[in-house]
Amino acid sequence: MKHSIQFKMLLAFSIVTFIGFSAFLLAAYKINEQNNSQIIHKDMIEARKTLDNYLKQYFLIKDTEMSKLSFATEATNIANVVSTQMGSQVTLYDAQGKNITSPLNKANLDNKDLSTALKGETAYTINHSEEKVMVTLSFPVKANDHVIGIMRYSKDYTEQSKYTNRFQNMIILFAVIIFMFIYITSLILSRKITNPIRKLTRSTEQLSAGDFVLHIDIDSKDEMGELAQRFKQMALRIKEQIEIIEMDRDALKEAQSQSKTFFDNVTHELKTPLTTILGYSQVLKDNGFTDRDFFEKGTSYIIKESQRLNHMVIDIIELSKATSDDISYYMEQVDLSPLIKETCDEMRMKGKKYGIRIHYEVEDNLTLVGDKDKLKEVIINLIDNAIKYGKVNSIIRVEGSHTGTMITLKVIDQGKGIPSEYITNLFEPFYRIPNIGVREKGSAGLGLAIVKSIVEKHGGTIEIDSKVNSGTEVKLSFKENPHA
């Protein structure tokens, strides 16, 4: 059987409240009972002392020695006098438990207090009969360390019992009123909580029907209001996601188009040197070696284009490796400081061909986790680009430093610079900046694409900042991982 949240909340509140008030009433009853017992106990102690004093005063006034005989002889008078003084009935018994105040009334030895007093001890019992509550106190009367009789005192506690009962009834009434108040409050509160849930449930039906523009009239400034707002946001997000999914076909077509462009570029780049090689090879085959100058020129072109083709194939393979998730890097602790210095020293010879000096400023202990060979490939590629595009008789600055918890590597040249509209395309495979001179021909435009992939595999970032006629700065950032 299905129960609503409101029903479950009301049931839970009712059960918890009922158990709480039951425990409270039980505790109140026990406390009242203990208080009554303590009051009676104190009264009986005081009554025992008072009765002893009145008994002694009686014999002093009579100037009679207290003995078994005098106690029995004066029993009726003693009972009357002491009863008057105490305001409650006093009865005397002999040492065997016989009523000597009213001889016709036999002793009721079933009363625990009387039975206990006959054994030489003081005791009292609380007796409940119909609507009355009586407490009887019995204690032995001694003379010369001998028990000469029993004195029994009775006191009516009916009024106190009624007062206690009235107090208990008031507590019960108060508990019932509070319970009803809590129940009604719970009913109102549960309805206030569940009404928004019902509205949200109806909204889910609206969502399932394909309507994502929800009008939920929940304006409370609490969690339910926040839930409603987030529910509407979720519906809008779903709508946005559906729109994105609907645009996936176009995105897929675009990806296919880019893939086709990539392969077209590869085909074009490979076709050019192959055409040259095949052309000269065919001519050399047809003409033989009769024309020595043409033979030298042809073989030179064949070798040059073969080398360019070889470099291009290697770059394509490297790009494939760099972007593939299946190729694993040999990651270890690498200190970039000596690696940067070593690479700069190796590239100086190439820079001298164009009067370009390589100057480095590198801090010590630039330590990170990475593949040493791949990181060196990155540095070589960046310095090589700076040489290709740098001005003759200029300086290439290589800087390595700590920046907070990051390692920063910069390669700065003094070349012609790159127009800002081309910078975002520099990391695309086979992309070349139009109308910009390059010192060495044969580049396939894959270097920066490979660099970007390697840097990202190391958790780093690459940024290019360039100004026309002022030079270009390439900045790499890696998270530092110093030795423990």
**Per-residue confidence at 416, pLDDT binned at 50, 70, 90?**
confident
Look at residue 107 in the predicted model and tell me its pLDDT.
46
317 and 344 together in one domain:
no
Q: What is the mean pLDDT of residues 134-146?
A: 89
25 and 142 together in one domain:
yes
Question: C-alpha dihedral over 114, 119, 120, 125, to 10 degrees?
Answer: -30
> What percent of the chain is predicted at pLDDT more than 70?
72
Secondary structure of 8-56 in HEC code, one letter for each residue: HHHHHHHHHHHHHHHHHHHHHHHHHHHHHHHHHHHHHHHHHHHHHHHHH
Which range has highest mean pLDDT (211-215, 325-329, 371-375)? 371-375
Would residue 126 count as lying in a domain?
A: yes
Would residue 455 count as lying in a domain?
A: yes
The one-letter code for the residue type at 407 is I
For the beta carbon of residue 214, count every other beta carbon within 10 angstroms: 19
Look at residue 342 in the predicted model and tell me its pLDDT.
92
User: What's this model's pTM, rounded to 2 decimal places?
Assistant: 0.41
**Per-residue confidence at 475, pLDDT binned at 50, 70, 90?**
very high
The answer to whether the Cα torsion of 22, 23, 24, 26 is positive or negative is positive
* Half-sphere exposure in the Cβ direction for 22 (13 Å, CA): 6
pLDDT, tens digit, 9 for 90 and up, residues 14-44 = 788 888 878 888 888 888 888 888 988 999 9
Residue finishing a domain among 294, 323, 352: 323
- Give me the domain span that covers residue 293: 248-323
Would residue 240 count as lying in a domain?
A: no
Look at residue 420 in the predicted model and tell me its pLDDT.
81
408 and 312 together in one domain:
no
| pLDDT for 457 beyond 80 | yes
Would residue 225 count as lying in a domain?
A: no
**Per-residue confidence at 45, pLDDT binned at 50, 70, 90?**
very high
CATH number of the domain that 427 lies in?
3.30.565.10
Look at residue 427 in the predicted model and tell me its pLDDT.
77
Rounded CA separation 79/88 (Å) = 10
Look at residue 436 in the predicted model and tell me its pLDDT.
59
CATH number of the domain that 46 lies in?
3.30.450.20
pLDDT, tens digit, 9 for 90 and up, residues 58-100 = 988 888 888 888 888 888 998 999 999 888 899 999 888 888 8
Residue finishing a domain among 123, 141, 164: 164
144 and 70 together in one domain:
yes
Q: What is the mean pLDDT of residues 157-174?
A: 85
The answer to whether the Cα torsion of 105, 110, 116, 120 is positive or negative is positive
Q: What is the mean pLDDT of residues 354-365?
A: 91
17 and 158 together in one domain:
yes
Would residue 484 count as lying in a domain?
A: no
| pLDDT for 392 beyond 80 | yes
Higher pLDDT, 290 or 155: 155
Would residue 205 count as lying in a domain?
A: no
pLDDT, tens digit, 9 for 90 and up, residues 95-108 = 888 888 875 554 44
Residue finishing a domain among 323, 353, 385: 323
Looking at every residue in the chain, the average pLDDT score rounds to 79
Rounded CA separation 437/417 (Å) = 11
> What percent of the chain is predicted at pLDDT more than 90?
18
Look at residue 133 in the predicted model and tell me its pLDDT.
87
309 and 361 together in one domain:
no
289 and 396 together in one domain:
no
337 and 391 together in one domain:
yes
For the beta carbon of residue 141, count every other beta carbon within 10 angstroms: 22
Q: Decide if 438 contacts 388 (C-beta within 8 A).
A: yes
Q: What is the mean pLDDT of residues 356-379?
A: 91
Look at residue 474 in the predicted model and tell me its pLDDT.
92
| pLDDT for 269 beyond 60 | no
**Per-residue confidence at 145, pLDDT binned at 50, 70, 90?**
confident
pLDDT, tens digit, 9 for 90 and up, residues 208-252 = 666 666 666 666 666 666 776 777 777 777 777 777 877 877 766
Look at residue 412 in the predicted model and tell me its pLDDT.
93
Higher pLDDT, 195 or 180: 180
**Per-residue confidence at 322, pLDDT binned at 50, 70, 90?**
low
155 and 300 together in one domain:
no
417 and 277 together in one domain:
no
Domain count for the chain, please give it.
3
Q: Decide if 416 contacts 389 (C-beta within 8 A).
A: yes
Would residue 362 count as lying in a domain?
A: yes
Look at residue 484 in the predicted model and tell me its pLDDT.
44
Rounded CA separation 483/3 (Å) = 62
Look at residue 109 in the predicted model and tell me its pLDDT.
41
Rounded CA separation 220/239 (Å) = 25
CATH number of the domain that 313 lies in?
1.10.287.130
| pLDDT for 1 beyond 60 | no
393 and 460 together in one domain:
yes
Q: Which of 303-317, 382-396, 461-475 has the lowest mean pLDDT?
A: 303-317
Strands 461-467 and 332-335: unpaired
Look at residue 120 in the predicted model and tell me its pLDDT.
87
Sorted by sequence, the CB contacts under 8 Å of residue 180 that are 6+ apart come out as none
318 and 361 together in one domain:
no
Rounded CA separation 141/151 (Å) = 7
Q: Phi and psi dihedrals of 387, rounded to 5?
A: -70, -40
Would residue 210 count as lying in a domain?
A: no
pLDDT, tens digit, 9 for 90 and up, residues 122-137 = 999 988 877 788 899 9
